[in-house]
Each structure stands twice: as structure tokens, then as C-alpha cells.
Chain A
Amino acid sequence: MIKLDAKIPEGSIEKKWENRKFENKLVNPANRRKYKVIVVGTGLAGASAAASLAEQGYHVQAFCFHESPRRAHSIAAQGGINAAKNYQNDGDSVYRLFYDTARGQPGQQLLLGAYSALERQAGLKTLEISYRHEMLDLVVVDGRARGIVARNLETGELTTHAADAVLLATGGYGNVFYLSTNAKYSNATAAWRAHKRGALFANPCFTQIHPTCIPVSGDYQSKLTLMSESLRNDGRVWVPKNKGDKRPPAQIPEDERDYYLERIYPAFGNLVPRDVASRAAKYQCDQGRGVGPSGLAVYLDFKDAIKRVGHDVIASRYGNLFQMYDKITGDNPYETPMRIYPAVHYTMGGLWVDYNLMSTIPGLFVTGEANFSDHGANRLGASALMQGLADGYFVAPYCIANYLGGEKLKPVKTSDDSFKASVNEVQSGVDRLLKINGKQTVDEFHRKLGHIMWDKCGMARNEAGLKQAIGEIRQLREQFWQDVKVPGSGADVNQELEKAGRVADFIELGELMCIDALERRESCGGHFREEMQTSDGEAQRDDDKYAYVAAWEYAGAGKPEALHKEPLAFDNIHLAQRSYK
């Protein structure tokens, strides 16, 4: 029986981390090179951890499934980073370089900082980067994470790698929904395979839907593009008062427009939190007041702001975003309102970790979006960058040192039976996918999964819908393994095979998300249960029953996962019902 022990240090909140660092065991600098640490994923969280560990003298092997670490999806962060000035630990020059000067795309510069720190160590030969290698299994020996199986995406070869500790920084699972603001390659496979090897998966139903994305334009749509939230500072959100009003926006007079956020939430107006803004947009569209060809969009109008401060000021604030919007839609937001609609953006859930970022498998550490920590049920804008960097540069290196310094690990080799068994399992999975030769493409399955998830486990959820979704996903999984078509072979670049493995995992994870959402009969952050709302439509928590982290344990193929509850204790804040009116 797994007992969840968060290992939170003693002392007041501002002293906890200092106390932990003081208690932690250290590894003699001369001995560090004897320890090998595998870092999977080279985005913000992974590259920063790999660079820091290599600098400290550990033997690091970083796995990057892209062609280059600089392609990681952390590069796409449009907003800023949350940091308190004079916060003790934020003084790193590589990532602070542009902190005060950034003009709308600092996320890119943060990743480039971590990337250059990583490449510097690669150049110094203190770490090795395995490019275009995708982790497909975690190898567990005597209950400890001791290595991985990775597929070389250029040659198809399965390779095994042994280590003393494994760190996953493999990002979130927003692409379960098929359409999301995540990059196309973003996937849950590494985290999900670790879950199947014993790492608990926490709060899978907590997903964040971002209110301001460019709406879907057709069946061919491959992803959704985020328009930074900062636009809501000057843009006014509205829909026509009359249902089905198809006139162009300029022909709809002022008194026939409903600036619904300003009307319903006079105190916060267009700046209500993400989940509130998203649900309000969905509600307007569900009522038949949506705009654009699909009716699944609302207007974000800059006309008044341009009148107030002038075209040039708006251009200096949002020029790059307006240009991005224009490129995608062919519409000029200076002249006609943007059309926006909510889209899946971030997943707060992930592998369960303790205070030391270690999962329920000793020796397996998880950082960044891949873990469940730091954001609760609803992440605050811009804090994911802070988490990735803090985990990677400052927290993980101490915690991994403490683990390595405190354990007597027996040597393992990739020729050991556990590595061979893992390779055989992965190989048979690959062979099975290639053999099915069915009629439906991987993307067709992925789109179907996305529709089920978006309709029934998206912005609003209810018991009947979730039960139906679970049934539909089980059917979809069966069909997938009978009818998916994966062309080509496993012996060279095969992007369909790569996608097929990821979609197979998304289907399983999607089911767990629905189960978790069904189990949590309260509304909380990104999780809105329609049955649980206040009389004025706000999310209603049930702290007596649900103030816990739901951590799920894999029980074998086809068996229901076991729920473990980690009670939440709030020592420093007082839980209250939100109100934005």
C-alpha cells in the first residue's frame, strides 16, 4: 500500500526551504561524476536542471525528442514571468538577461537562456544530449527508477540507458484534447509510461482552458493559437444581444451589443480570471449568441481603446499579437474586432511528487508541467515559467543530491533482465501498432478523443456526461487497437508511428481524467461541475469532502485505478469562496 508522504519540512513557510537545504545530504564534489542522472525533456524545466546538475559535476545525459532543445514548447510562452523583485533566488543572469527589457516574448528568451546554459555544458563535454530520442519506458529495478528505454526517432532503434536517478521534465498533457494551444509534438507518453510503472498520477482532471484563443476555422484545424491574455487589458469582450445576429460587427449598433463580462462582473469586467471568462464565453455561444462562421466565438474589440489612447499606443502594446492574428485569420484587428474562443492551454495535474520533487517511485523526479505541484486546481498566468526555472535551476539539483547522498544504490547495467524486459515490452507495442493495418488514421482517432474530452470533460462537466465519456473512450480504445492504420516500418523515421504511441497513451489518460472529474463532486478552479454551482453560477467547492489531492495508482491493463488521497492542510491562507462581482 502506497502511503503518500509529502515530506514537507518543519518550520514557518519562509524557512521551510532553508531548513530543507540545511538537512539535505550532500555529495562530495569529487564523487559527483560517479553518479549518472538522466534528464528527459529539454524545455525550460529540463534544460535548466540538466545544465545545473552538469555544472555541479554530475554525469548527465539529457534526452531531447526534438531536433534541438531550442524547439521545446517553452519557447512559445508569450506572456511574462511572475517573480518578486529581490526574491532571493531569482538572480541568475542567463535567464534574467531580458527580464527588465522584454517586449512581449520573454518566454522565448527564458528558454534560450536555459538552452544556451545546456549547450555550454554540452560544449564543455560535461553532459551529453541525445537528440531525436523519445523515452518510451521507465526501467525500475528493486523498486527504484534506474533507467529508461528510448527510441531513436531517426533509425527506429530502441536504446537502453542506466542511471542512478531519472528526472522527467516532459511537459503537460493538454493535447489529450487534440486541439489545444500546445505544440503538436507535446505529449504525455513519458509521464504515462512512468505512471504504468508505479508513479501515481495526481489530479488529472485539473486542466486550464484559456479564454483568448483564435477560434477553430475548419476540420483541417491542427492546433489553436493563443492570443496573450494581456489583450484583455484594452480589449472589450462582447456578443450581439440578438441570437443568431449574422451582421458584420461594424453594423451592429452599440445598444445591440452585450458587453457581458462588464455587465455580469462590474468589479473585474474583462479581467475576470481565466476559468470565469472561458465559461462565460461558452455560455454566450451555447445561448446562440456566438459570432463568426462557426458561432463558436466572441468578439474582443479594441475600437474604444484605439479611440482613447490612439493607434500607435495600441500598436506598441500589442503589435506583434495583432500581426500574428492577422496572419492566421486574414483580419486586421485594428479595424475589426478579434474573434476569440477558449482553448485548452495547460494541465495542472501530473505525476504526484513530494516536497523534494520525487514521485512515488524512489529515484524518479518530476519537474515543470509534468508534475502536479504548485498550481493547485487553477494555475495563475505566468507562473508556469517560474515553476520550470525554479524547479530546474534551484530545487531539483538539491533534491537529487540529497537522494544520491542518502542511498546506497547497487550498480545496474543495461544488460540486466529488467532492461531487457522493458525493451521487449516496448518492441512488442511498436510491432503491434504496425501490424494492425486498419482503416482509420491516427489523427482520426485523436480528433474523436478530442471531441469527447472537449464536450464532456472540458469547460463544464456533469455526472451523466462524464459517465458517457468514459464509455465512449473505452470503445474508442478498442477500435483503435483494431482499426488504426500506421503505415511504414519501425526502422526509420515514422512520424505516424510516433503519433500512434502517443495517442494510445492519450486515450488511456483521457479515461482517467474523466474518472477523476466524475469522482470530484465539487467545482474547483479549472474543474467545473455543473451540479455544483452557487445560485449565481459561480464554482462551488466542497472543502469538507474534497480538500485533498486525488492521486491515482495504475493497477494493470483494464483494471480500475486505485485512488489515494493526500489531505490538503492550509496553514498560511484561509480558504474562501471566490467572487468577482
Chain B
Amino acid sequence: MSETLNLKLKVWRQKNARDEGKLVDYTLEGVSTHASFLEMLDVLNEKLIKQGDEPVAFDHDCREGICGSCGVMINGAAHGAQLGTATCQLHMRHFKDGDTIVVEPFRARAFPVVKDLMVNRTAFDRIIAAGGFISVNTGSAPEANNLPVGRETAEAAFDSAACIGCGACVAACKNASAMLFVGAKVSHLAHLPQGQPERFRRVTAMVAQMDSEKFGSCTNTGACEAACPKEIKLTNIAQLNRELLRASLCR
């Protein structure tokens, strides 16, 4: 495999939320196959700045797949085609010399574009603020060992808690549904004893907030699961539906 690539890029440029936006063509030569996808965008930006153009705005931070800041559509796939990989963990060795790569922002009505590839995902924060917590004041909880949690239960909860809130599930869904994100948080807390007292109130409030943020409905296509960089399972959505049903029956 050659160590460098020449690429054609089609990158979404949009000045702000009101601008229409369009794909703009760029060429980039000599990109190292060891660079990450975001480092490739860094190289493009350095070139644009030197030419007197504005660089492409994109969100990123930890660059090790844990903060959930980055996320773009790469050739139509959220975070690109590699499974279980965030955009910052995708490396250029997965591309071929001469490839054309289309780079667009995560698209959803609930995620308005801020600029170029940067979107506003604070709808997720508002869903968490509606119920994604345990109402225990800080510093006042009992000794954790007084509340034993079995290993299987803890692991199941942890699997759901691995969500990084990047929004790829929403971007991958044809309906822009946030069910996998909400399902992961609801399942995480529903598994644990600490989550029980508010179990029904939580799911009801989070789903109500989700709906008011104009996310779409779930039609169980599983596109979210395939795009998730943390491989959160579709069963979280099934659990969300069960929790919601139980909440409506037990009210």
C-alpha cells in the first residue's frame, strides 16, 4: 500500500444556520495513510488558510473517540464506513489513492448547522436535563457497597452507559430519531437499583422532551446501531419501549 494518497474532497460549506450551504470541491495531495480523518481535514485547513480562504469549521476535541465532539457524514455514512469507529479514530489507511470523499454535517432538524460541518446537539443535553439523572444530592449518598449490584447487571448497565452522545444514531436514521440515545440512558439507569425510584417519571419526561425537540419516530431499521461508534445495541430501543409502556400502565 502506498504511504500517501491524493484525494478529491467534496466538503459541505455553510456560513451559518441561515445560509443555504453547498458542497465545494477541493483536492489534497500527499495525505499520509497514517493520518486520522480529522488530521486530513487539518491539512486541508492549513492549505486553505495559506491560500487566504476560510478553513472548514468542524467540532472535535479529544481525538480518541470518547468525548463525542466529532462526527461528520463520510460518503453518506455517519463517522464513515468502519464499524465501531468515531470520525477521529478513522484513519486514512482505509481510503485509496484517487478516492473522492464527500464530507457533510450530521443532518437532522433537531441538530441545526452552526457552520460548515459543525452542528448544535444541545437537544441531547435538554433530554438529559429532563430526566437522565438520579435525584440524589451530591455528597449525601450512602456507602456504595451497601447497595450490591450483580456483575451481569452492572455490565449490562455499563454497556448502555458507553454512549458518547455524538448523535451518529440520529444522523444515520432516515427519520432522524433519537431513540437509541434516549434508550441507552433509560436502560442504563433502569438496570440499576439507584435508578428505580424515578424509573417511570424518567422515561416519560425524557421521551416527552425528545418529541418536543423534533426528533423523528423510530421504524426499527437498525441504521443507528450500525453507525454507533460505541456499538450500542438496538435492544436499548426495545427496552425504552418496554419502559414507556410500563410507565403508562403503572401510572
* Of listed A73, A96, A97, residue having the most chain B CB within 10 A: A97
Find residues 127-160 in chain B having any chain A CB closer than 8 Å to their own CB.
Answer: 128-145, 147, 149, 151, 154-155, 157-158
**A residues near B118, Cβ cutoff 8 Å:** 493
A residues 81-100 in Cβ contact with B at 8 Å: 85-86, 89, 91-94, 96-100
- From known contacts A93-B194, A184-B60, A218-B32, infer whether A48 and B138 are also in contact, taking CB-CB under 8 Å: yes
Which residues of B have CB within 8 Å of A108? 66, 162
B89 at interface (Cβ–Cβ under 8 A)? yes
Cα separation A328 to B144 with both chains bound (whole Å) = 37
Q: Is residue A185 contacting chain B, with contact meaning CB distance below 8 A?
A: yes
B102 at the A interface (CB under 8 A): no
A496 to B157, CA, bound (A): 40
Quick one: closest A residue to B115, CB to CB? A493
Known: A73-B61, A108-B66, A443-B46. A92 touches B36 (CB 8 A): no
**Interface residue from A98, A129, A327 paired with B158 (Cβ < 8 Å):** A98
Docked complex: B70-107 residues within 8 A CB-CB of A: 85, 89, 91, 93
Q: Is the CB of B91 within 8 A of A93?
A: no
B221 within 8 A of A: no
B66 and A75 form a contact (CB under 8 A): yes
Closest to A77 in B: B66
Contact of B194 among A97, A154, A394 (CB under 8 A): A97
Interface 9-residue window, one of B48-56, B211-219, B237-245: B48-56
A212 at the interface (CB under 8 A from B): no
Is residue B208 within 8 Å, beta carbon to beta carbon, of the partner chain?
no
A131 near B91 with CB under 8 A, answer no
Q: Which of chain B's residues have a CB closer than 8 A to the CB of A51?
A: 138
Check B7 for interface membership: any CB of A closer than 8 A: no
Chain B residues contacting A105 (CB-CB under 8 Å) are: 66, 162
Q: Is the CB of B69 within 8 A of A76?
A: no
Report Cα–Cα, A493/B57, bound state, in Å: 8
Chain B residues in 8 Å Cβ range of A324: 64-65, 89
A225→B122 contact, CB < 8 A: no
Contact check, A487 vs B145: say whether CB atoms are below 8 A apart.
no
A28 in contact (CB, < 8 A): no
Q: What residue of chain A has the Cβ atom nearest to residue B131's Cβ?
A: A123
In the assembled complex, which residues on chain A have CB atoms less than 8 Å from the CB atom of B141?
91-94, 96
A109 to B34, CA, bound (A): 31
Does B61 contact A184, Cβ atoms closer than 8 Å? yes
Which residues between 9 and 63 of chain A lie within 8 Å of chain B, taking CB atoms? 48, 51-52, 55
Q: What 0/1 pattern do residues 176 to 202 of A give for CB contact below 8 A with B?
A: 000000011100000000000000000
Known: A487-B49, A493-B114. A71 touches B67 (CB 8 A): yes
Using A67-B121, A496-B49 as known contacts, say yes or no to A220 and B91 having CB atoms under 8 A apart: no
Residues of A within 8 A of B93 (CB): 330
B43 CB-CB contact with A under 8 Å: yes
B67, A76: Cβ atoms under 8 Å?
yes
Question: Which of A113-121, A203-211, A458-466, A542-550 forms part of the interface with chain B?
Answer: A113-121
Instruction: List chain B residues, Cβ under 8 A from A67.
Output: 59, 69, 120-122
A233 interface contact, C-beta 8 A = no
Whether a CB of chain A sits under 8 angstroms from the CB of B15 is yes
CA distance A51 to B137 in the complex (A): 9
> Is there contact, CB below 8 Å, between A222 and B62?
no
Interchain nearest-CB distance for A174 vs B (Å): 13
Q: Is A482 an interface residue (CB 8 A)?
A: no
Nearest Cβ on chain B to A369's Cβ, whole angstroms? 15
Asked, given contacts A109-B161, A116-B128, whether A76 binds B145 with beta carbons under 8 Å apart, the answer is: no
Interface flag for A314 (CB, 8 Å)? no
- Chain B residues with CB under 8 Å of A393's CB are 138-139
Q: Does A239 contact B (CB under 8 A)?
A: no
Instruction: Name the residue on A nearest B49 (C-beta).
Output: A441
Chain B residues in 8 Å Cβ range of A225 = 63-64
- Could you tell me the distance between the alpha carbons of A98 and B122 in the complex, rounded to whole angstroms? 25
Tell me, rounded to whole Å, the shortest Cβ–Cβ distance linking A55 to chain B: 5
Contact B143 A218 (CB under 8 A): no
Q: How far is the CB of B155 from chain A (nearest CB, A)?
A: 7
Known: A92-B140, A222-B36, A492-B16. A70 touches B145 (CB 8 A): no
Q: Give the shortest distance, in Å, between B2 (CB) and chain A (any CB).
A: 14
* Residue A488 at the chain B interface, CB threshold 8 Å: yes
Compute how far the CA of A66 lies from the CA of B144 in the bound complex, rounded to whole angstroms: 31
Over the window 140-183 of chain A, the binary record of Cβ atoms lying under 8 Å from chain B Cβ atoms (1 yes, 0 no) is: 00000000000000100000000000000000000000000001
Of all chain B residues, the one with the shortest Cβ separation from A64 is B125
By DSSP majority rule, is chain B's interface helix, strand, loop, or mixed? loop
A177 to chain B, nearest CB (A): 15
| Chain B residue at minimum C-beta to C-beta distance from A485 | B49
B66 to A93, Cβ gap below 8 A? no
Verify A93–B142 contact, CB threshold 8 A: yes
Contact of A222 (CB < 8 Å), options: B38, B147, B154: B38
Residues of A within 8 A of B151 (CB): 101
A332 an interface residue at 8 Å Cβ cutoff?
no
B139 touching A112, Cβ below 8 Å: no
> Beyond A93-B142, A183-B63, A222-B63, is A71–B69 a contact (Cβ under 8 Å)?
yes
Kindly list chain B residues whose C-beta atoms are within 8 Å of the C-beta of A69.
125
Measured between beta carbons, the chain B residues less than 8 angstroms from A97 are 134, 144, 192, 194
**Nearest-CB residue, chain A, relative to B136:** A93
Instruction: Indicate if the CB atoms of B134 and A94 lie closer than 8 Å.
Output: yes
Q: Does A468 contact B (CB under 8 A)?
A: no
Question: How far apart sit A86 and B161, CA to CA, in the bound complex (Å)?
Answer: 26
Give the contacting residue for A116; candidates B114, B132, B137; CB below 8 A.
B132
Alpha-carbon gap, A579 to B186, bound state (A): 51
- Contact between B158 and A103, CB atoms less than 8 A apart: yes
- In the complex the two chains form, what is the Cα distance from A105 to B159 in whole Å? 11
Across the interface, name the chain A residue whose C-beta is closest to B33: A330
A440 CB, min distance to chain B CBs, angstroms: 9
User: Which residues in B have their C-beta under 8 angstroms from that of A89?
Assistant: 139
Best-buried of A73, A115, A117, A495 by chain B (most CB within 10 Å): A495
Bound CA span A132–B63, Å: 19
**B63 lies within 8 A of A102 (CB):** no
Contacts of A487 in B (CB 8 A): 49, 52-55
Does B129 lie within 8 Å of A119, measured CB to CB?
Answer: yes
Query: Residue of B at shortest CB range from A123?
Result: B129
Distance between Cα atoms of A73 and B131 in the complex (Å): 24
A108 to B34, CA, bound (A): 27
26 A–B contacts, CB within 8 A, in A order? A52-B138, A55-B137, A67-B59, A68-B125, A70-B67, A70-B165, A71-B61, A71-B69, A73-B67, A94-B134, A94-B141, A98-B157, A109-B158, A116-B134, A119-B125, A184-B60, A218-B34, A220-B32, A223-B63, A225-B64, A328-B36, A328-B91, A330-B91, A487-B49, A493-B118, A495-B55
Which 10 pairs from chain A and chain B are nearest by CB? Answer: A93-B141, A123-B129, A101-B154, A96-B144, A116-B133, A120-B133, A119-B129, A493-B115, A183-B61, A183-B62
Name 9 extra pairs, CB < 8 A, besides A73-B62, A94-B133, A222-B36: A66-B61, A67-B69, A75-B67, A97-B134, A101-B154, A184-B60, A184-B62, A220-B43, A324-B64
Residues of A within 8 A of B (CB): 48, 51-52, 55, 66-73, 75-76, 85-86, 89, 91-94, 96-103, 105, 108-109, 112, 115-117, 119-120, 122-123, 129, 131, 154, 183-185, 217-218, 220-223, 225-226, 324, 327-330, 393-394, 441, 443-444, 485, 487-488, 492-493, 495-496
